[in-house]
Chains A and B, each alone.
Chain A
Amino acid sequence: VLHFSHPWGFALLGLAAPLIVLYILKIRKQRITVGSTWLWQLRERDLLARDPFRKFIAERSLLLQLLVLLVLATALAGPRLGDGGSPPPKTLAIVIDVSASMSATSSAGSRLELAKARAKRALEELPPGGQAMLVSAGATPRFLTGLEMNPLRLGAAIDALQGVDEIGDLPAAVGAAAERIRREPVPRLLVLSDGQTRENIRVSGVEVDNELVGEPANNVTLRAVDLNRTNDRRVEVFCVVEHHGNADFEGALTVQRNDRVLGLRTFRVAAGKQETLTLSIETPAEEATLKVAITSEGQRDALPQDSVAYVQVPRARKMTVVHASANHASWVGRALLADTNVDLQQLSPEQLSRVNIEPDAFVVTEGICPEQHAASIGMDWLVFAPAGETCADARLTREKGHIQTVTSWELTDPRLRFITFDDVHIGETALGTLSGARALVRSSKGALIFQGGDPSRTVTVVGFDPAKSDWPLRASFVIFMRNVTEYARTHRERLTSGAQAIGEPMRIPLPQNVTAVTSTLPDGTTQTLRAEGGLLLAPAPAKIGIYTYRWTTPLQGYVAVPVNLLSEREADLSQAPLSVTVERDAQGRVPARTASRANLLFAALGLLLVLLETSLFVHRRRAKP
């Protein structure tokens, strides 16, 4: 017994009427030369008809063509073959892809709108007593309803469904939905997507109907955006533009700040190719949010979301460095003074807790550990010869009168790049016995230089006073100071301009003691979040744009996080059928064949009949007129 998912497919049988008309309609006669028409002439009087139609003769070719039509119409009607006829589902889980590519629009509307309309039709086909549930497949699956028998609630949930700018994870959503309904009576899964998922989806014990919505479309996307501040006044913006389409694309790349265009560059990218573009623009020295956008006058872009990206311009390279020391003419002080890319602020150890220090300053101390004086100041610390018993999660052991020789160091750590400790001898030192900290430079007695275990900032502790060693006489000391400064600069830039993957929860490091944060989303809505231990766990962003997190206590500050799509999978709007493998479940339930497979069976049969028709009639008529 066959059941049909789309009975309207039989409308194709309407073509039978014009087909029969073609058979009885006299076509233009073929001219052929014969020896003499004399013997045909009397026949002419019998057959030369004036009307455009001739007598209907049920030819074998016509019968075969009608059969082809019937088979193709059956294939289009979505036949379902199953045990005892595969009854209509009593439990239906509708999985709707809500990923960014579903926002792509065509003349028929957006893919998501088409999917919602199809979902409503599926609800109408439910038998009396049937139940359904709705699952959205974004970056993470979301159960929008439980198993629900009330079609009004289900319809309302479908209406409320909105697309997100996320990279979809359809297999996870399908798997979760299948697991939820597997033990329900006569379960079936309806997957509505636009075919962006290329991996095979394996489902156990549930019949699956997967349907593609929308149509393939062209799309131009920003695949990557990065920037580099060349000096205090200029920033270079690097972009990779990718074109998924079938014709060359001409457009312009603009960089805007507060709706003011700072730079524009026209470009042309061939179909299926990438183009790397660089714009050099002038920006003020302070932090700024830039919007990078692709625009085109003539050509339509089906998915505007991935034609826009946001980047955060870091403050000018001059970083605030606070040097807290009793002797500012020390080796450390001199090394910091030699760096022209820092704003050096020299303080005494007592001033450290009294002076208002910028939250993102790099704090360098000699003889004191900042956490004992002002634990919340600065973003990164470099501590030399700290006094006290502990510093940065490490317990300090004093070694006096013993010359320490470096035995090993971390070659891969960025702070120790291009550095060698050969022939460096160290006098008095505080060796770190580490718990949460990580050793960077070791002697035979313990860690000479180590990294503290504070997750919100980088703390580099040098256990000895450079003046009590011959290290400052080596080139490696100056290189170390430069490396640590660059390391702090990189950390600061990452906090403000580092891109956040869309659809994943955000982990934002904040200054210690910040507990209340106000987040502002791209659409302007705000909400209050709680931070703990210098870390803010923010909800996963669903829309592209700049997400801003502000705090006022203990000191005012903010972090701006740009969130962009930049996904190859979502950008490619060509469609491919989903690959779904249905397995038997542990209870040995027989998974029904999917409609698409029966479609293929009938379509293949139709193709076979077409070939038979061609070989029987077209070929024979050519050979023997």
Chain B
Amino acid sequence: VSALLSAQWLAELEALRKRLRFDIRSRGGGNHLSKRKGASAEFLEHRAYAEGDDLRRLDWAVFARTGEPSIKLFRAEEDTCMRIFLDTSASLQFGTPPKFEVGRRIAAGIGYIALASSERAQVLSGADALAPMTSAARGRGGIARFMRELEGLSLKGRGDLSRCLQSARKAAHEKSVFVVLSDFFDAGPVLDALSALSGEGHTVVALQLLAHEEAHPTLHGDYTLVDSESGDELALTIDDESIDDYRRRLAALFANLQNVVRRTRGVALQVVGDASPPEVALRVLSTERHAVTARAPEHERVR
């Protein structure tokens, strides 16, 4: 299917796909019954005939029994649209393997599950601004295009996640599941942007991609830290106290993410190190709050 997904992962994703339940509806035609009225074979209710109604929908049996013309209404069928946003700022290059590669694989896994379930999936990306996007792919027939678009992504430079999310919200005219893959190391109003998505009825799944040394820093001593995204330097004396402080801030950031996405019936997860797409999908389904961790091999630890 794609170089991003191995055969083993595909088999595991197929099994997981059957457990997916999408409550969010996009108002587009699909396989899921909707609360809205529509043209499916599922009866919903009767109402009195009004001038202009389609006579083909008149329930003749009711009319014969009551003498009052009644129109037969049916439920609509809708699908689910997965909008998968992958942060392409340069900071995603950090880690072993790079967080960008991990994120791309997870996006491929989630997209595959959606498309194989005859839903729609759309690739969104951006660093400092939302990148041009194509329409959402649909069904198994759209898997190839979806994967090509993912494989074509590359890292750009400095990032502005909140701006990207705001642009994505404006471009989304129908409710969807918004999957955001990023490290969320952004000083901008990212939480506000996520709240805005919630306000418009989107379900948000926030996956925070972290390198192992970001989740568990072991530095000790005097360092000049160089920001991999901006190149900014920061002279710092790192001791046990400052490590604890860093951990508190990281935990607070994640807790805020959880609070925001919880209002959207979504889920926030930390993906540390090299996590496989099936693992992450399983975590999303089980809605467990704690992070999915994949222990990095010894030789891959950052010095």
A residues less than 8 Å from B250 (CB atoms): 39
Residue from B94, B99, B225 within 8 A of A40 (CB atoms): B225
Interface set, chain A 29-85, CB cutoff 8 A to B: 29-44, 46-49, 54, 57
B236 in the interface (beta carbon within 8 A): yes
B185 contacts chain A at the CB level, 8 A cutoff: yes
Q: A32-B223, A34-B94 are in contact. Are A624 and B228 (CB under 8 A)?
A: no
Instruction: Tell yes or no: A273 within 8 A of B by CB.
Output: no
A108 at the interface (CB under 8 A from B): no
A605 to B280, CA, bound (A): 54
CB of A624 within 8 A of CB of B301, answer: yes
Per the bound structure, the CA–CA distance linking A36 and B232 in Å amounts to 9
* Chain B interface, number of residues (Cβ within 8 angstroms): 39
A625 in the interface (beta carbon within 8 A): yes
A34-B94, A35-B95 as given contacts; A47 in contact with B236, CB under 8 Å: yes
The residue from A31, A37, A47 contacting B237, defined by CB atoms under 8 A apart: A47
Instruction: Return the chain B residue nearest A59 by Cβ.
Output: B220
Q: Which of A27, A32, A36 makes the CB contact (< 8 A) with B183?
A: A36
Chain A residue at minimum C-beta to C-beta distance from B299 = A623
A425 within 8 A of B: no
Q: Does A26 make an interface contact (CB < 8 A)?
A: yes
Q: Does B285 belong to the interface (CB within 8 Å)?
A: no
Chain A: CB-nearest residue to B246 = A39
CA distance A27 to B235 in the complex (A): 12
A39 to chain B, nearest CB (A): 5
By beta carbon, the residue of chain B nearest A625 is: B303
The 8 Å CB contact of B187, one of A38, A43, A625, is A38
Beyond A43-B245, A625-B218, A625-B303, whether A37 also contacts B234 by CB under 8 A is yes
Return the contact of B228 from the options A34, A44, A48, A49 (Cβ within 8 A). Answer: A34
Task: Tell whether A32 pairs with B253 under 8 Å between CB atoms, given A40-B234, A44-B234, A48-B236.
Answer: no
Q: Which residues from chain B contact A33 at a C-beta distance below 8 Å?
A: 94, 225-226, 228
Q: Residue on B with the closest CB to A34? A: B225
CB of A587, distance to nearest CB on chain B (Å): 62
A39 and B228 form a contact (CB under 8 A): no
Q: How far is the CA of A57 from the CA of B236 in the complex (A)?
A: 17
> Once the chains bind, are B223 and A29 in contact (CB under 8 Å)?
yes
Complex Cα–Cα for A26 and B218 (A): 19
Alpha-carbon distance between A57 and B239 when the two chains are bound, in angstroms: 10
Decide: A37 and B242 in contact? CB cutoff 8 A. Answer: no
Chain A residues near B224 (CB-CB < 8 A) = 29-32
Could you tell me the distance in whole angstroms from the C-beta of A46 to the nearest C-beta in chain B? 7
B151 CB within 8 Å of chain A: no
The answer, among A27, A32, A38, for a CB contact under 8 Å with B226, is: A32
What mask results when residues 219 to 259 of chain B are scored 1 for a CB within 8 Å of chain A, else 0?
Answer: 10111111111001111111100100110011001000000
Complex CA distance for A532 and B101, rounded to whole angstroms: 110
Cβ of A625 and Cβ of B237 under 8 Å apart? no
From known contacts A39-B250, A40-B246, A43-B236, infer whether A34 and B183 are also in contact, taking CB-CB under 8 Å. Answer: no
The answer to whether B91 and A31 touch across the interface, beta carbons within 8 angstroms, is no
Give Cα distance in the complex from A48 to B249, angstroms: 18
Q: Which residues of A contact B213 (CB under 8 A)?
A: 34
Minimum C-beta distance from B195 to chain A (A): 20
4 pairs of A and B residues whose beta carbons are closest in the complex: A35-B94, A36-B185, A625-B303, A29-B222
- Spell out B's residues near A (CB within 8 Å): 91, 94-95, 99, 183, 185-187, 211, 213-214, 218-219, 221-229, 232-239, 242, 245-246, 249-250, 253, 301-303
What would be 10 A-B contacts, judged by CB atoms less than 8 Å apart?
Answer: A27-B222, A30-B224, A32-B224, A36-B183, A39-B253, A44-B234, A44-B235, A47-B239, A48-B236, A625-B218
User: Taking beta carbons and an 8 Å cutoff, which residues of A are in contact with B?
Assistant: 26-27, 29-44, 46-49, 54, 57, 622, 624-625
14 more contacts with CB within 8 A, not counting A35-B229, A37-B232, A43-B245, are A26-B237, A29-B223, A34-B214, A36-B185, A36-B227, A38-B185, A39-B246, A40-B234, A44-B236, A46-B245, A47-B239, A48-B236, A622-B303, A624-B301
